Structure 1
């Protein structure tokens, strides 16, 4: 039967259909005005929902009596006048103000309402649009203690008035925020801010409140934060934004990266509202017995959901010590950077997704120190290139072994084909003789696969390393403005985007795809020449031909919005692989010499290993069973 082929007309038809689909997708894109309207509606919905939640929680702050007339906008004085603060009505009459502290790396505002941080700005960083990095701002975070009182009220600290006091202790700034029943009875948030430090010492304690707080009811800590967008690609940033936590035994776990997730965790050391390059971390001096963690993905459509990535939450119970609160924490607001996090000796660097098990070890003990050393002397793009060269040279022996195995199989191919033809009616016998010949010659198809498997841990470790390498953030190289983001050389018109690909064209993924194509062209050709023809092999050969084109296309499409530093690595890595392969092929390996060695090895008596003997016996037994089944059928 004649094999069907695509003619020119069919190809033109497919191209026209594809073009029509692209035009339809482009024409159906919302206009900038429509997108702005959608964004405005969505923001109004978010604000309305937030106001609704806060209104519900404000109502919960009053006693079990009927306070249905409470409004979200009621002032503290109004609440006090209506006797809704109970013993804490004293606090509403005290003069207080917000507190602003700058320690060189953090610009902090402590709110008199609720006593916690209402604004956290990282002084040394800006986002992709040169706007300062705010981890907390405009009510995107809430820190609340919910407790019952002895006069049957339920109060939330986030709605109550704290009196502020700022003092100095050497170079450290102490911020005391007190929720007072009297001058000697109060709930206090005490913050110790050290110069140029991202970690704030934070203590929650009470004094004289044993007659005010109902000790028979749980004292609940409720903390949430909505992560603001800081990267150019919100979907890429969202991929590396995840709630991470550590148990007191040192094991680290995470909530789901996508969708909604909730989990109750026992004995927690710390929890991290980790964003791609910045994190908010709560560290407890004593393990928190039970914490309910929540995560919600807020990016359903990256064209519309452009402000926030995820909403994180944590709820736990605060224990009383001698009828009083006394809990010590650390609050970290800063870069998700290995060097910075490891300096606190709390294992916080484990919140960075460098890969599990062996892959994480390779990154922490090899690639991070190596890249840190190189980038201290070289521009970051050049450091990536030098690091890639060193890695490829170190792994060149693996490529040598792989190519040597392929060449041996190529030399043995005529003999293997002869064995197959000789025993075409006895596949078992053909396999036995094939294995015997390969064993004598010291050649095996597996020998070509093992080197590739050895390279996999290195490949995966680097795949994890580059996207989370903080050092690459906003570092330029050639046409790439930011090695931690995509290197766009062309932006499509507003509203136009290609599914899976994006609304721009990045150059490094294209270069990497071209390099992968030529490398696969060289290696696939060698594999096809060395592989003996077997049943099914024509289809396999066709599949390998498709892979030559499929793999580069995958690289170009799916890495279009990835970190350009990672695409640069793949581009240089494949160029070096091509160079090493050509050197091995043309200057190191000699086919005549390899053939001579094979002949010498074949002439020597080869002792079978226990595994080979076992495999041979199994094959013989299977052949005997097959022959007996044939006789029984006759």
Structure 2
């Protein structure tokens, strides 16, 4: 039966696609040597810091928290502040909170440190219907480490700022001042517009030219732990990453347990928590900055609250005795549609579209295409429509692949005849086979190349569905969230299948079944692609039989924990491809006409390319040497 025939080109294509995909996923995994080198590097840095601290001029220790109602404690506290002792005398010098908000986001700013201590996105909720918080319960800190002219070191996160909330038109303005006197202060200025996630943020000083030590930069230290928002912390962590832009290009820290880096000319720093981001933007660029990222959990857990901890250390130059930095905060969704409002900052580059051509396809093709389709159709239907469009665009590639298989099928009897005639002379058999291919105008690799041409589409979609914000919490059929895996059954508490997970997803099962029948059909199109097995060589027929079952099994395990929208795409895609190939086979390709055309091609003189001539000469030389021996 024709259904039992096997197409080695299709199999090679699938194997290459899976192999390259796995290489992409694991290329950033550190080797043991790299881990050891990183440990050695960290130890050297720590040692250098200790040596530097041991030789440095003694400074005042970190300012402790103090009860400002205790007169004795207050006097001691003021003595430790030096020029900023005035800040302890203002009426609002306490742990009070000032709130400012718009329709999208709400902020709470503490007098202590003048920093944002709570940021909540009003229009979004987590998987368990809790509002999405980016800052809460002390998970973030923003501190300036200041060296003063009287040889003190002060940390602003422990000092008290005076708040002043006002309005300018529809904008809300919050001024937080750390005062040395009424006319001398360090100010954090927040300005929030009514319809956005961007907060204008200014750090500036006034009258502190005799207070700030101009010979040493003010050190900005920003830390934040990513708050968990998804049902699976492992899945969310895959797309949780510190990303930053420098010199007009984007870089990111590793996805593993810990990583660090230092760069110059940094224009923004993004603490991405999968679908939500906190971004510090400096259009004038930081001259340099150092970053760290550390994973905060060991394994999948329902109790873990945080994914990663990020830190950024940035020196701020004191110019003319004063500080003056005009920046922005972004607290909001990692959504390309929202980032369009702030296109001057290129925030869309913080979205993990993929690198190179894959990122280009996602950013400029799939994202705008799906954005349009989802505005017309329900989100699940939009995926199906997009799948149909993609398969129609790729149908010429499918046709080329099938046509190549049909040509190989037509000349199979002649290939078999050559194999039998020169079964004892492998070199001659190869020469005659290549000669036949050349005369017939057939290339055995032409069936594999179309499969490789589809690789950019395959990998681009692999990155698109898990990171497309527009799919977040959008249901379709039994899937509650197309950006995450669907669940039709959960295993008992504590039970999990290695590499598979603690649940059963239906869309990957359907996709695996579809790819199984697709492979059965494609491997049955062309028995000619399977050459007779030579002695000492592996039996390709048996290998292809195994691959028919291994490939769907790989998909079943691999996609069980990935976005259900991706599995839905591959399920529909394989069904459509099967239909297209059936139409091509039964209504478009005529094997009798192909045979007649090949016979005509064989009568025409064929001009050898330089490569073909070189290969022929090398084979002839090898054959001559073999005869001499």
Deviation for aligned residue 1:273: 0.5
Deviation for aligned residue 1:423: 2.1
Normalization by structure 1: what TM-score?
0.86
Counterpart of 1:336 (choices 331, 334, 342) is 334
Is the partner of 2:138 in helix, strand or coil? coil
Equivalent residue for 1:144? 143
Q: What are the within-5 Å matches in structure 2 for residues 5-84 of structure 1? A: 64=58, 75=68, 80-82=74-76, 83-84=79-80
Equivalent residue for 2:385? 386
Verify the 8 A CA contact 1:114 1:144 in the aligned structure 2: yes
Equivalent residue for 1:561? 561
* Distance in 2 (alpha carbons) for counterparts of 1:64 and 1:426: 85
Please list the CA deviations of residues 445-491 of structure 1 after superposition, one character each: whole Å capped at 9, or x if unmatched. 11111111111111111111111110000111111111111111112
Q: What are the within-5 Å matches in structure 2 for residues 117-136 of structure 1? A: 117-136=116-135
Deviation for aligned residue 1:111: 0.8
Verify the 8 A CA contact 1:80 1:89 in the aligned structure 2: no
* Distance in 2 (alpha carbons) for counterparts of 1:380 and 1:517: 27
Deviation for aligned residue 1:378: 0.2
Equivalent residue for 1:54? none
Is the partner of 2:481 in helix, strand or coil? coil
Equivalent residue for 1:473? 472
Verify the 8 A CA contact 2:295 2:307 in the aligned structure 1: yes
* Distance in 1 (alpha carbons) for counterparts of 2:383 and 2:133: 30
Is the partner of 2:452 in helix, strand or coil? helix
* Distance in 2 (alpha carbons) for counterparts of 1:406 and 1:168: 72
* Distance in 2 (alpha carbons) for counterparts of 1:614 and 1:437: 17
In structure 2, do the counterparts of structure 1 residues 67 and 360 end up closer, same or farther at CA, with 3 Å as the change threshold?
closer
Deviation for aligned residue 1:614: 2.1
Deviation for aligned residue 1:421: 2.2
In structure 2, do the counterparts of structure 1 residues 366 and 304 end up closer, same or farther at CA, with 3 Å as the change threshold?
closer
Deviation for aligned residue 1:610: 2.6
Equivalent residue for 1:416? 415
Number of residues of Structure 1 aligned to a counterpart in Structure 2: 565
Indicate yes or no: 2:231 matched with 1:235: no
Equivalent residue for 2:46? none
Equivalent residue for 2:159? 160
Deviation for aligned residue 1:426: 2.7
Indicate yes or no: 2:587 matched with 1:593: no
Deviation for aligned residue 1:180: 0.3
* Distance in 1 (alpha carbons) for counterparts of 2:372 and 2:59: 66
Equivalent residue for 2:88? 92
* Distance in 2 (alpha carbons) for counterparts of 1:66 and 1:611: 76
Indicate yes or no: 2:605 matched with 1:622: no
RMSD of aligned Cα (Å): 1.8
Deviation for aligned residue 1:71: 5.7
Q: What are the within-5 Å matches in structure 2 for residues 422-461 of structure 1? A: 422-461=421-460
Verify the 8 A CA contact 1:410 1:531 in the aligned structure 2: no
Unaligned stretches of 5+ residues in structure 2: 1-56
Deviation for aligned residue 1:544: 1.6
Is the partner of 1:390 in helix, strand or coil? helix
Please list the CA deviations of residues 481-507 of structure 1 after superposition, one character each: whole Å capped at 9, or x if unmatched. 111111111122222222221111111
Equivalent residue for 2:496? 497
Counterpart of 2:324 (choices 314, 322, 326) is 326
In structure 2, do the counterparts of structure 1 residues 66 and 413 end up closer, same or farther at CA, with 3 Å as the change threshold?
closer
Verify the 8 A CA contact 1:409 1:443 in the aligned structure 2: yes
* Distance in 2 (alpha carbons) for counterparts of 1:126 and 1:189: 30
Equivalent residue for 2:482? 483
Please list the CA deviations of residues 505-559 of structure 1 after superposition, one character each: whole Å capped at 9, or x if unmatched. 1110110111011111111233545322132665222222111111111212221
Q: What are the within-5 Å matches in structure 2 for residues 294-333 of structure 1? A: 294-303=292-301, 306-333=304-331
Is the partner of 1:497 in helix, strand or coil? coil
Q: What are the within-5 Å matches in structure 2 for residues 499-538 of structure 1? A: 499-535=498-534
Please list the CA deviations of residues 218-246 of structure 1 after superposition, one character each: whole Å capped at 9, or x if unmatched. 31000010000111111111000111111
